[in-house]
Amino acid sequence: MSAQEYAFVVLAVIGGLSAIAVVTSTNVVHAALYLVVTLLSVGGVYLLLGAEFVAWVQILIYVGAIVILFLFGLMLTKAPIGRDTLDNQQRWLGAIIGVGVFAGLVFLIQDAFPMQDAQAFEPARGTTDVVGEAIFRNYVLPFEAVSFLLLAALIGAIVLARKDDSS
Amino acid sequence: MIRLPLVLMFSALLFSAGVYGVLARRNAIMVLMAIELMLNAVNVNLVAFSALLQQMTGQVFALFVIAVAAAEVGIGLAIVILLFRTRESINVDEVNLLKW
């Protein structure tokens, strides 16, 4: 195992444990803060894989914007505390399905990419100029579609959430 | 030099935690958080295969997924706030107006 792989395993354990804490925590604000830890460790994994630009976008957009939006949403609504108000009655069925999905995915991964003959791969060169060239040379049309989607979502969110003055 | 199956298993763990969260939570905001976990699992896979194949396509699509996730959270929270304003509750099992 190389040093990068040790760093990855540490990040993956932290991220995985806090991901489980996100979905099992009985306090909504704690869940949002565990989500920050998970997103930061995913950003660290991107850095280890060489995807620099995606890592910084992850930290700026997810940790900087989306989690703040979640915290605003929690402040504007009632945030109950306790397992019975946060979880529904079928959570044991949900746990069985979650563990089943994990077991099935691990089985498929072992089948498709066996651990013993897995080749270690070089980190990608994900600097800003390489990513920018790929976006604006090969993916201009999807980029425009995504920007249009963001505009539509922005207008839709304002229209949905504003107070209706006419009534 | 990270081996690919380890990254894929980390992603599988994030995805199954998200599946459990979507199925077990009542609070709509917690369901949205679990959806974010699943989107992150997909992004980890995209970046890992981008590094394996030494192509940029995976990273570009990871960026697109992040943009779509931001749009989805914006709309989702607007709907949740509207729901709280009209029903005084954001439990997803009490919202059954459109249920057949």
- Residue A66 included in any domain: yes
Residues A42, B14: C-beta atoms closer than 8 Å: yes
On whether residue A167 sits in a domain, the answer given is no
CA A67, distance to chain mean position in Å, is: 11
Tell me phi and psi for residue A166, to 5 degrees.
-70, -30
pLDDT digits (tens, 9 = 90+) for B19-54: 999 999 888 999 999 999 999 999 999 999 998 888
The dihedral over CA atoms of A23, A24, A28, A29, expressed in degrees to the nearest 10, equals -90
A131 in any annotated domain: no
| Band of pLDDT at residue A124, cut at 50, 70 and 90 | confident
Q: What average pLDDT does the segment A12-33 reach?
A: 92
Number of domains in chain A: 1
Residue A61 included in any domain: yes
Distance between CA A156 and CA A43 in Å, rounded?
Answer: 29
Which helix H or strand E contains B90, and what residues bound it? none
CATH for A57: 1.20.120.1200
Contacts of B87 in chain A (CB under 8 A): none
Range of the domain at A46: 3-126
Place of tokens 């980190």: A123
In a domain, A52, yes or no: yes
**B12/A31 touch (CB, cutoff 8 Å), yes or no:** no
User: A131, B56: Cβ pair inside 8 Å?
Assistant: yes
Task: Give the pLDDT confidence score for residue A166 in this predicted structure.
Answer: 63
**ipTM score of complex:** 0.91
What is the residue type of A4? Q
Nearest Cα to Cα of residue A40 among A70, A20, A68, A60: A60
Q: Does any domain span residue A137?
A: no
Predicted TM-score (pTM) of the model is: 0.90
Residues of B in contact with A5 (CB under 8 A): 1-3, 6
CB contact under 8 A, A115 and B20: no
In a domain? residue A93:
yes
| Domains of chain B, CATH where assigned | 4-87 (1.10.287.3510)
